[in-house]
Amino acid sequence: MSSLEKKGRACLSRGMRDGRTHERKPPSPLIMSQGNSARILQLTLAVIKPDAIAHPVIFKAVHEKILLNKFLIVRSKELSWRREDSQNFYREHSGRFFYQRLVEFMSSGPMRAYILAHEDAIQLWRSLMGPTKVYRARNTEPESIRGMYGLTDTRNTTHGSDSLESANREITFFFPEFCVSHWYQQDEPHFRMGAVSYDSERQIHAVHRT
C-alpha cells in the first residue's frame, strides 16, 4: 500500500464511522442534519468506463446527466489503469467467469472517475445507471445510462459504488490523496448550502472562498 493510500484510509476511518458524530468531528453522511432543512451530503464514487470515454458524445451526455440530476462534482479526473490496478480493484471477483474479461476491459483505455455529492448519492447514481445487465436495462429502464449507451454486461458505460462501505473503499482507491474527514469538516457545509459554483474548465464544483 502506498503512502497516499494509507493517508486516504486514515482519513476515511476518522471521517466516516458507524453513523455517530462527535464534537469537532465530521458528521456521518447518513445522519440527518438536526435543525436544518438540508441533509448532510453523501459521497459516492462514479466511473465512466473506457467504452464511453472512447466516444466523446457519450461521455458528454453522461457528464451532463450528472449535472442535470443535481450532483455536485467534488473531484474529477481522467486516468488509465495498468492490468495490476484492474486486478486489485476487482479482486473480490477473482475466480468468477467474468473476472479476466472485466480486468482486461478496464485496463484497455482511459476512463473518468468522479467523487459525487448528493443527499442520496449512492442510490441516486445507481438508479441513473440502471441494471448491470444491458439487456435488462434496455427492456426495463431504457432511459437509464446503461439502457441508452451500454453495449454488453462488461462494456456497460458506468460504475458506481453500491454501499457506503464500498464508496469509502473505492474513493480511496481512485483518489488516495482525498481526505474524506477533511472534506466533511471544511467543505461539506459549503456544498450543502449551495456556496459553490461549477467550474466548466476543471469540470468540478468549487467552493466560494472569501
Residue positions in the annotated binding site for ATP?
49, 98, 126, 132, 146, 156
Per-residue exposure over 151-189, b if at least 16 CB sit within 10 Å of its own CB, e if not: eebbbbbbbbbeebeebbbbbbbbbbebbbbebbbebbb
Catalytic residue among 118, 159, 190, 205: 159
DSSP 87: H
Instruction: Verify whether residue 93 is a known catalytic residue.
Output: no
∠ CA 178-184-185, rounded to 5°? 105
Phi, psi torsion values for 38, nearest 5 degrees:
-95, 140
Residue 195 has which C-alpha cell? 456556496
Cell of 91: 479482486
Q: Which long-range contacts link 25-31 to residues 24+ away (Cβ below 8 Å)?
A: 25/181, 25/185, 26/180, 26/181, 26/183, 26/184, 26/185, 26/188, 27/184, 27/188, 29/121, 29/164, 29/184, 30/164
Point out the annotated binding site.
Answer: 49, 98, 126, 132, 146, 156
**Residues, the chain:** 210
Q: How far apart are CA 17 and CA 98, in angstroms?
A: 33
Catalytic residue set: 159
